[in-house]
Structure 1
Amino acid sequence: MSDLFARTQPASRHYGVAFLAGIMGGLISAFVKSGTEGVMPPRTPDRVAPPIQMIQDMGIDMHNMVYTYSDQVVNWGGSAVHILFSIAWAVIYCVAAEIFPKVKLWQGLAFGIGVTILFHGMMLPILNLSPALWNLPFDELFSELVGTLLWMWTIEVFRRDLRSRLTKKPDPEFQ
């Protein structure tokens, strides 16, 4: 347990690269997560998606946050929340990976499980954006878990590749 919080040498850290990898990985992984939700919808049609519900709860009219693409109405507001969430957590992950190597456990999947538990198990129910974890249908739990794991793995692939390409060095714990 003591090595769980082991730190890398400060001189081997590259925060700027981590920040860039977080932005790029977060953006692309948001589309991966959306794609997963397209083939495995995470909630029943009668429930509003949490990002859209959150925006509505702030008093913003969602009908003004749409555009038409290929004759389909697309809600950019909900997508923007998802993308910003993805980028923020990707930056947190990539910067943390520079300091705490164990954050990358199972190629970041342990971190992804933690994010799933934190948000879908705790934050969304507390904010009344989702039922409690034990009241969610299996389809939703499965979709969110698979989608979040693919999302997180995509971030780790971007992080590792960009860090390696831009610094020409291995991760800090291997230096």
Structure 2
Amino acid sequence: MTTRERSILKGALAGMIGGLAGAGAKVLAEKLFPPRVAGQTPPPVVLVEQFAGHALPPTQQQAAMHGIHWGFGAAAGGIYGALVEMEPSVGAWKGAAFGLTLNRLTHESILPRMGLAAPKEEQPTQERISEWVTHAVYGIFTDAVRRAVRKSL
């Protein structure tokens, strides 16, 4: 068995690519198991509307949602890839632990504190379960693609 040299840069690059794949998998998972009911504003749209100081038309809402979703997915994947490169145990449960941790940090902590989502205790059960499941999917896909890309670098 050969041991490859650790590289934070290569790990981050592989993680970013993995994060994009994970973000795509999360979008598909949310189509099967949506986190919000129709008419409920997603946190990325709330953020952009707060920043802009006005409500966005539907086309701009979609652009804001996708931009933040894909950008955050790639950035989180890049951080994950760099961390796994330096400490392989971060990749526990084939990335599921990463996805679940990300959900805990974002949807259950940071977003409620920023006023972009209801506190965890007030979030509908459907939303909380969906976020847990789809973030696990995100983490697993991010890790699988990260591993494949990293082997080729």
Aligned-residue sequence identity (percent) comes to 28
1:120 matched residue in structure 2: 107
**Largest Rg, 1 or 2:** 1
Determine if contact 2:19/2:142 at 8 Å carries over to the other structure: yes
Give the corresponding residue for 1:108: 95
Q: Please show how residues 5-154 of structure 1 align to structure 2 within 5 Å.
A: 12-59=5-52, 62-63=56-57, 65-66=59-60, 75-154=62-141
- Displacement of 1:106 in angstroms is 0.8
**Deviation, structure 1 residue 23:** 2.2
Gaps of 5+ in 2: none
Contact 2:16 / 2:76 at 8 angstroms: preserved in 1? no
- CA shift, 1:91, in A, is 0.2
Larger % of helix: which? Answer: 2
Cα offset, 1:65, TM superposition = 5.0
How far, CA to CA, are the matches of 1:22 and 1:159 in structure 2? Answer: 5
Any idea what SS the aligned residue of 1:12 has? coil
Range moving further from structure 2, 105-114 or 118-127: 105-114
Q: What CA distance in whole angstroms lies between the structure 2 residues aligned with 1:123 and 1:54?
A: 12
Deviation at 1:55, TM superposition (A): 0.4
1:43-98 deviations in Å (ceiling 9; x for gaps): 122420000110000016632854xxxxxxx8122110011110110000000001
Write the distance in 2 (CA, Å) between the matches of 1:115 and 1:18. 18
TM-score, L = length of structure 1: 0.78
Which whole-Å CA distance do the structure 2 matches of 1:19 and 1:114 have between them? Answer: 18
- SS for the counterpart of 1:105 is helix
Supply the RMSD in Å over aligned alpha carbons. 2.0
TM-score (norm 2): 0.89
The structure showing larger relative contact order (alpha-carbon pairs under 8 Å, at least 6 residues apart) is: 2
Moved more, 38-47 or 153-162: 38-47
Amino acid at match of 2:13: L
Higher share in strand = 1
SS in 2 for 1:130: coil
Unpaired runs of at least 5, structure 1: 1-8, 67-73, 167-175
Contact in 2 for aligned 1:29/1:86 (Cα 8 Å): yes
